[in-house]
Amino acid sequence: MAIIAGGTVTVAQYVACMEKKDNYAHINSRISGASAKAGHMMRDQQFGTPAITEYADAVIVGGGVAGLSAARSLHHSGFTNFRLLELEPHTGGNASYGSNQYSAYPLGAHYLPIPNIENQPLLDLLAEAGILTHYNADGLPVYNETDLCYDPEERLYIRNRWQEGLIPQLGISQQTQDEIKKFLELMETLRRAKGSDNRYAFDIPADNSSTDASYRELDQLTMEAWLQQQGYHSEELRWYLDYCCRDDYGAGISTISAWAAIHYFASRKGKAGNADSSQLLTWPQGNGRLAQHLQQFSRDKTQTGCVVYKITPEPTQVLIDYYDINTHQIKRLVAKACIMATPQFVTQRLIPGGSYHHDFVYSPWLVANITLERVPESSGYQLSWDNVIYQGKSLGYVNAQQQRLTQQMPAKQVITYYLPLDHLDPVASRKYAIGLSPRHWVKLIADDLETVHPGITELIGDIDITIWGHGMIRPHAGFITGEVRAAAQKSPFANVFYAHSDLSGISIFEEAFYHGNKAANALAAYCS
Amino acid sequence: MEILLLLSVFVIATCGLIYELVAGTLASYLLGDSVTQFSTIIGAYLFSMGIGAYFSRFFKKDLLSWFIQLEILVGLIGGISSAALFLLFEHAASFRLVLYLLVGLTGTLVGLELPLLMNILKDRYEFKDLVSRVFTFDYIGALAASIVFPLLLVPYLGLIRTSCFFGILNVAVAMVVLVKFKREIKWAPYLKSKAVACIIVLLGLFIWADKIMTFAESQAFRDPVIYSHSSAYQRIVLTHSRLDLRLYLNGNLQFSSADEYRYHEALIHPAMLYSPKHSQVLILGGGDGMAARELLKYPEVEQVTLVDLDPAMTRLFRQNSMLASLNDSSLLSPRVRVINADAFQWLKENDRQYDVVIVDFPDPGNYAVGKLYTTAFYRKLRHALTDSSVVVIQSTSPYVAPKAFWCVNTTLQECNYQTIPYHTYVPSFGEWGYVMASPGPLAKHHDSLPAGLRYFAAGTFSQMCDFTADMQQRKVLANHLNNQILVQYFEDEWGKYQE
C-alpha cells in the first residue's frame, strides 16, 4: 500500500553488520527498503518529454494490494489491454514477503481476520484463491483448515511470565477485571449496533459504516480522551488498547481517534462454519499469500522499476509519463483512463494542480525477520503465533513457522518482529530510522527481545530488516470524518480514479481491496 | 618402597574385580537373565586371567617398565569398557561377541599383572612372605571392590563413571611406580606422557559420561537404563529389569516387553477382522516393529508400509538382536517397507491406497503431535483409503483421559468416518483405548484369526467395545488445527492424574 515512493526505495541496500568485539558481532543484518532514492527521484528530478509513446486501454499506477485488486477486477470485467506500473522491483506493497531456506516470512502485513459475511467480494476472492472451500448448510463460509491460524494463537509476557491470550489476566486487580469486562461487553454491543441509517455503526469496508452522528462524533476525540470520559482508568486495559492501536495504525491511543480504535474491535463480526470472529487466516509468507493470488491477473501486464513522474489528464485520454529504471528510458503511456493506486502524498504530486494535504499522516514501521537457532523457552505459556510483550516498545513477534504441519522442528526458527516507529512524530521518526545503521537496529531489537528471552542474542544468526517509511495511514482524531479525507475520495478528473487504503483512513487488506475494486468498476463504467 | 608395591597390589586387585563386575552387570542389563550373564562373564574373565598368567613367563627383562605399560593399558581398556559397550550395543551385529572379546582382553591383561608384580618383588622378599603378602592384599582388594560396587558405585557414579574411575586408578598406579622407581625404568619420559594422555582421556570420559548416558536419567526411571540416545526427534530410552524391557520416548512409556502383546494384539487384530481386504497395510508411527510383527502373522498381507519419523528408532529395532527378537525381526522382513518420513508430509505426497491403516502415534501431549490427531490429518488420511478401508488409531486412556479419548472419536466422526471405539487392559499402561474407523460402514468380514495369539480372540472384541460408566462417552469438541482442543483435554486429564 503505502510503500511506493517517499520514504522507501527500490534498490535494497545490503549492509553486513561486521563490528567486532561486541555481543552482536555474530549477527548478520541487512536493511531493505530504506533510503529514498527512487522515491525522491520522482519528487526531485526533472525529466524531459518522453520520446517513446505506448498505448493501453487503462493504466494502473502502483502495485500494492489496491493496484493488484484493481487489476484483478479489470481482468474480470474483460479488460485485456491494461498495464500496471510499479516503482519497486516487485508488486505486493505491504503484503510483500521474503524467504530463506527455513521459512517464508512476511515483510509487512501477516494476517486477515475472518471476513464479515456481508463482504461478498472478499469472500469471492478467498474462494477464488482456494482459501474458502465451500459454504456449509447454514450458508456460512468454510475455510481451508490449514489456512486458519493454528493453536496456540496468542500469548502475552506480563509480570515475568507468558500468559495465554493478549488481554492482561495475570495478577490484575478486581477493578481492572471489571473494566475489561465492561469494555469488551460494550464492544460486543457495538459490533451489532446499527445507526439510524440502518447500517452497522462500524463496518468493513469503513465506507459502509453508519453516518449516524452519534457514532461519527467519536472520531472527534482521541481514544485516550474517550477512555477518560467513559471512566476507564485501568493501566492494563489502557495498555491493551494502546497496543491494539499501535498494531493496526502504527500509533497509540493518544493519537488515534476513538472511532478508529473502536472500529478495530466492533467492525470485526466475521462468521464462518469452522471458525469464529476472533480467529484469522494466516500463512508463513503472511498476506503475501493473497498478493501471490492477485498477481496472476496482471503478471504479463506489470512493469516494475517504473518511476511515474507526471500524469496529464486530457479530455479523452490520460498521459502517464514514467522513467524506466531498468532501461533508463523515459516513456509515455497513453490510456483512455487511469487508476492511481498510490497513497495521497504521491498522487497529489503527480496530478496537475495537486497539493498534498498534511492531514494525511503515515506511520513509519520497522519489520524485522529474525532467523535464530530457536526461541528460548521461558516460563509460562508456550510459543504461540503472536507473542506480545506487555508495555514493550515493540509489538513483539509472530512465529513465521506457526503453520507448519510436520513434526520435524526446522533447523532454524524464523520470527517476524514488529516495531511501530511512533516514539517521535512521523517525519522525525522517518529521519531517525533512515539514519540508523543496521548495527544499531540489531542492538535495539536484540535488547528488546532479551527482556523476555534472556540469552536470545547469541542464538540469533540473521536479521532481515524492512523499514516502511510510510507504512500505513494514521487515523488520528478527526481524520476519518474530516473534510480533507472526504475531498480526496474522488479525483478532479473524469478519467482518473483513486484507489488506496489511505482513502479509508484504515490500512488493512480489506480496505485496499475495496478501493481497488471500486476504482476498477468506476473505470470500467467510464470506458463503456 | 616395598609397601608401595604391595599397596598397588591392593589397587590392582580392586580394579580387576571392578571390571569383572561392570561387565557382568552390563551384560545382565543389556541381555537380561543375570544368573547366566554373571556366571559366564566370571568364567570367561577368570579363564582369561589364566591366559594372562601363562604369558607372564615371556617377560624377562625390564619388568618394571613392562608393568607400567601394562597398568596403563589395563587402565585404558578397563576404563573405557563400559562406555564402549553402551555405545556398541546399538550398532554391533553381535553384541555378545563384542562383550566377550572385551572381557577376554581385560581378563588377560589383569591376569598378567600379579605374576609380573611377583616377579618384580621376588628378589626383595622371602618367597613365603611374598606369596602371603601379595595374596593378602589381593583378597582385601577383592572384598573392597565387591562391597563398594553395589552400595556406592552403581547408585552414585553409574557404570560408565565407575569403570572410568578405576581406569584412572590403574593408570595412577603406573604413575606412582614411574615416579618412585625413576632410576630403574627405561623409557620413562615416553611412559609418563602415555600415562598422562590416558588419564586425560579417562577424565574426559568421566566428565562427559552424561553425553553417553544421562546419569540423572537413569535415576528418573524405575529400572536400570541400558540404552539412551537423543535422536533428531526424541529421546529414546530402554530400561531393563528382571521382569521386562521397557521403551520410553521422551520419558513416556511406549511398551513393556511383559505385556506389549496385549496392546499390539488389540491394536491390530480387530481392524483385521473388520477389513474385507488385507493385502496392503500402512503403519504410521510404530517404529518398534511390534505392530508389523502382528500383521506379518497374516499370510495374505502382501506388503506393510511403515512410516516412522525417526530413523534412529527403526534402526535400533532392526539391528539390535535383542530388540529384533521382540518384534520377530519384522523390520527385516521383505514384506515390510520402512520409510523414515514425517507422516503428514508423507501422506501429502502419497498416492496409493491401503486396505488397513494402523495409526500408532505418541499420545497428543504437545501441539506438534496434536496436529496428527486433527480433522486436517484425518481428511488427508482419507486419500490413502478406499471406501472399505479400515483405520485404527491408538487414542490414549479412556479411563484417565475420557475427554481426550472421545475427542479422537468425535474428530473422526466429523470427518465422516464410521467409528467403533474400544478399549483393553494393558497392565503397564492401565486401561487403554483405540478407535477403529472407516469411510464406509464397519462390519465384520472375517472370523478366523492367525495362530499364536496370546490375548485377542474373536469373542473378546464385544467386551472391548463395552464402556463402563466411568469411561462413558463424553460430549466433546472435535480437534482442529485452530483449536487443538485435544491437547488441552489431554493435559488437563493426565495432569490431574499425575498430581
For residue A254, the domain's CATH number is 1.10.405.10
Q: Does the pLDDT value for residue A11 go beyond 50?
A: no
A262 and A370 belong to one structural domain? no
Cβ neighbours, 10 Å, residue A197: 10
| CA A64 – CA B487 distance, rounded (Å) | 40
The three cell numbers of residue B92 are: 554391533
| CA A86 – CA A96 distance, rounded (Å) | 13
Subunit contact A148:B371, Cβ cutoff 8 A: no
A374 and A245 belong to one structural domain? no
Report residue B160's pLDDT band, with 50, 70 and 90 as the boundaries: confident
A255 and A377 belong to one structural domain? no
Subunit contact B367:A151, Cβ cutoff 8 A: yes
Name the closest residue on chain A to residue B232, using Cα atoms: A408
Query: Residue B482 is nearest to which of A275, A406, A409, comparing CB atoms?
Result: A275
Given a contact cutoff of 8 angstroms between Cβ atoms, the answer to whether B53 and B112 are in contact is yes
Subunit contact A149:B343, Cβ cutoff 8 A: no
pLDDT (mean) for B144-154: 86
| CA B490 – CA B470 distance, rounded (Å) | 17
A392 and A273 belong to one structural domain? no
Subunit contact A274:B369, Cβ cutoff 8 A: no
Query: Residue A145 is nearest to which of B343, B376, B487, comparing CB atoms?
Result: B376
Greater model confidence, A197 or A43: A197
* A11-20, B120-129, B202-211, B446-455: segment of lowest average pLDDT: A11-20
Given a contact cutoff of 8 angstroms between Cβ atoms, the answer to whether B173 and B11 are in contact is yes
* pLDDT at residue number B368: 85
* A4-18, B287-301, B390-404: segment of lowest average pLDDT: A4-18
Distance of CA A56 to the CA centre of its chain: 30
Residues of A in contact with B368 (CB under 8 A): 407, 409
Q: What is the CA radius of gyration of chain B?
A: 29
A162 and A253 belong to one structural domain? yes
| CA B136 – CA B361 distance, rounded (Å) | 60
Residue A209 belongs to a domain: yes
Task: Give the residue from A99, A76, A116, A123 showing the smallest Cα distance to A400.
Answer: A99
Fill in the amino acid letter for A444.
L
Q: Considering all CA atoms of chain B, what is the largest pairwise distance in Å, rounded to the nearest integer?
A: 94
Residues of A in contact with B233 (CB under 8 A): 407-408
Q: Which residues contact B265 (CB under 8 A, 6 or more apart)?
A: B294, B453, B454, B455, B456
Q: What is the pLDDT of residues B406-441, one digit of tens each?
A: 999 999 999 999 999 999 999 999 999 999 999 999
In chain A, the percentage of residues whose pLDDT exceeds 70 is 95
Between chain A and chain B, the number of residue pairs with CB atoms below 8 A apart is 53
Subunit contact B482:A150, Cβ cutoff 8 A: yes
Interface of B with A (CB under 8 A): 232-233, 309, 342-345, 367-369, 371-372, 374-376, 379, 480-484, 487
Query: Each residue of B422-435: b (16+ CB within 10 Å) or e?
Result: bbbebebbebbbbb
A252 and A138 belong to one structural domain? yes
Subunit contact B309:A408, Cβ cutoff 8 A: yes
Chain A, residues 247-276, CB within 8 A of chain B, namely 274-275
Q: Does the pLDDT value for residue B313 go beyond 50?
A: yes
Q: Are strands A111-113 and A386-389 parallel, antiparallel or unpaired?
A: unpaired
Q: Does the pLDDT value for residue B217 go beyond 60?
A: no
Report residue A188's pLDDT band, with 50, 70 and 90 as the boundaries: very high
Give the closest-approach CA distance of B483 to chain A in angstroms: 5
* pLDDT at residue number B227: 81
Torsions phi, psi for B45 (to 5 deg): -65, -50
CA dihedral B165, B166, B170, B176 (to 10 degrees): 50
Domain boundary among A262, A282, A302: A282
Q: Give the DSSP H/E element, type plus range, for residue A135.
A: strand A132-135
Residues of A in contact with B232 (CB under 8 A): 408
Residues of B in contact with A282 (CB under 8 A): none
Give the closest-approach CA distance of A148 to chain B in angstroms: 6
Q: Does the pLDDT value for residue A399 go beyond 90?
A: yes
- Is A146 within 8 Å of chain B by CB? yes
Residues of A in contact with B371 (CB under 8 A): 150, 405, 407
* pLDDT at residue number B91: 62
Q: Does the pLDDT value for residue A228 go beyond 90?
A: yes
A458 and A367 belong to one structural domain? yes
Q: What is the pLDDT of residues A25-39, one digit of tens each?
A: 899 998 876 346 677
Please give the C-alpha separations between residue B78 and each of A203, B102, B374, in angstroms, as whole numbers: 79, 9, 52
Residue A388 belongs to a domain: yes
Beta strands in B151-299 (DSSP E): 225-230, 235-240, 245-249, 252-256, 280-285
Provide DSSP, B388-445. EEEEEEE---TTT-HHHHHHHHHHHHHTT-EEEEEEEEETTTEEEEEEEEESS-----
Q: Give the DSSP H/E element, type plus range, for residue B190.
A: helix B188-207
Report residue B180's pLDDT band, with 50, 70 and 90 as the boundaries: confident
Q: Give the DSSP H/E element, type plus range, for residue B145.
A: helix B127-148
Q: Does the pLDDT value for residue A234 go beyond 50?
A: yes
Query: Residue B482 is nearest to which of A145, A405, A406, comparing CB atoms?
Result: A145
Half-sphere CA count of A158, side-chain side, radius 13 A: 21
Residues of A in contact with B483 (CB under 8 A): 151
Query: Where are the alpha helices (H) located in B32-94, listed in sequence order?
Result: 34-55, 63-91
Residue A166 belongs to a domain: yes
Name the closest residue on chain B to residue A148, using Cα atoms: B482
Q: Find the CATH number of the domain harbouring A445.
A: 3.90.660.20
Q: Which residues contact A172 (CB under 8 A, 6 or more apart)?
A: A180, A234, A236
| CA B97 – CA B87 distance, rounded (Å) | 14
Residues of B in contact with A149 (CB under 8 A): 482
Given a contact cutoff of 8 angstroms between Cβ atoms, the answer to whether A31 and A441 are in contact is yes
A369 and A262 belong to one structural domain? no
Residue A124 belongs to a domain: yes
Residue A407 belongs to a domain: yes
Residue A263 belongs to a domain: yes
Give the closest-approach CA distance of B480 to chain A in angstroms: 8
Given a contact cutoff of 8 angstroms between Cβ atoms, the answer to whether B17 and B31 are in contact is no
Domain boundary among A282, A315, A340: A282
Mutate to test the interface with B, among A136, A148, A151 (most CBs of B within 10 A): A151
Q: Are strands A280-282 and B430-438 parallel, antiparallel or unpaired?
A: unpaired
Q: Which residues face A143 on adjacent strands?
A: A132
Please give the C-alpha separations between residue B33 and each of A11, A228, A298, in angstroms, as whole numbers: 73, 78, 75
Fill in the amino acid letter for B18.
I
Residue A319 belongs to a domain: no
pLDDT (mean) for A270-274: 95
| CA B322 – CA B37 distance, rounded (Å) | 14
pLDDT (mean) for A224-233: 96
Task: Give the residue from A418, A352, A353 showing the smallest Cα distance to A385.
Answer: A418
| Most confidently modeled range among A403-407, B315-319, B387-391, B460-464 | B387-391
Torsions phi, psi for A327 (to 5 deg): -105, 0
A262 and A123 belong to one structural domain? yes
Name the closest residue on chain A to residue B485, using Cα atoms: A151
- Looking at the structure of chain A, the number of domains it has is 2
Q: Which residues contact B213 (CB under 8 A, 6 or more apart)?
A: B86, B158, B159, B160, B225, B228
For chain B, what is the mean pLDDT? Answer: 89
| CA A468 – CA A508 distance, rounded (Å) | 15
Subunit contact B309:A407, Cβ cutoff 8 A: yes
Residues of B in contact with A407 (CB under 8 A): 233, 309, 342-344, 368-369, 371-372
Torsions phi, psi for B165 (to 5 deg): -60, -45
* pLDDT at residue number A33: 63
The full length of chain A comes to: 528
Name the closest residue on chain A to residue B376, using Cα atoms: A145
SS3 B349: helix
pLDDT (mean) for A107-120: 96
Task: Give the residue from B301, B318, B427, B399 showing the smallest Cα distance to B358.
Answer: B301
* pLDDT at residue number B32: 60
pLDDT (mean) for A454-468: 93
Give the closest-approach CA distance of A475 to chain B in angstroms: 32
Residues of B in contact with A152 (CB under 8 A): 367, 484
Greater model confidence, A159 or A12: A159
- Is A185 within 8 Å of chain B by CB? no
Given a contact cutoff of 8 angstroms between Cβ atoms, the answer to whether A386 and A153 are in contact is yes
Given a contact cutoff of 8 angstroms between Cβ atoms, the answer to whether B284 and B343 are in contact is yes
Report residue B241's pLDDT band, with 50, 70 and 90 as the boundaries: confident
Q: Which residues contact B279 (CB under 8 A, 6 or more apart)?
A: B300, B301, B302, B303, B355
Catalogue the active-site residues of B.
360
| CA B387 – CA B372 distance, rounded (Å) | 21
Q: What is the pLDDT of residues B248-271, one digit of tens each?
A: 887 788 899 999 999 999 999 999
A403 and A255 belong to one structural domain? no
* pLDDT at residue number A2: 36
| Most confidently modeled range among A32-36, A57-61, A274-278, B321-325 | A57-61
Query: Where are the alpha helices (H) located in A267-355, listed in sequence order?
Result: 288-295, 344-350
Q: Does the pLDDT value for residue A9 go beyond 50?
A: no
A250 and A140 belong to one structural domain? yes
pLDDT (mean) for A327-355: 94
Q: Which residue is it, cell 475427542?
A: B407
Give the closest-approach CA distance of A275 to chain B in angstroms: 8
What is the ipTM for the molecules in this complex? 0.77
Torsion sign across C-alpha atoms A489, A491, A497, A499: negative
For chain A, what is the mean pLDDT? Answer: 91
* pLDDT at residue number B5: 76
Residue A6 belongs to a domain: no
* pLDDT at residue number B216: 43
A151 and A244 belong to one structural domain? yes
pLDDT (mean) for B288-312: 96
First to last CA, chain A: 28
Domain boundary among A454, A473, A492: A473
Name the closest residue on chain A to residue B372, using Cα atoms: A405
Subunit contact B342:A151, Cβ cutoff 8 A: no
- Residue-number span of the structural domain to which A403 is assigned: 24-35+362-473
SS3 A163: strand
| CA A57 – CA A80 distance, rounded (Å) | 8
Q: Which residue is it, cell 618412585?
A: B180
Report residue A408's pLDDT band, with 50, 70 and 90 as the boundaries: confident
- Is A407 within 8 Å of chain B by CB? yes
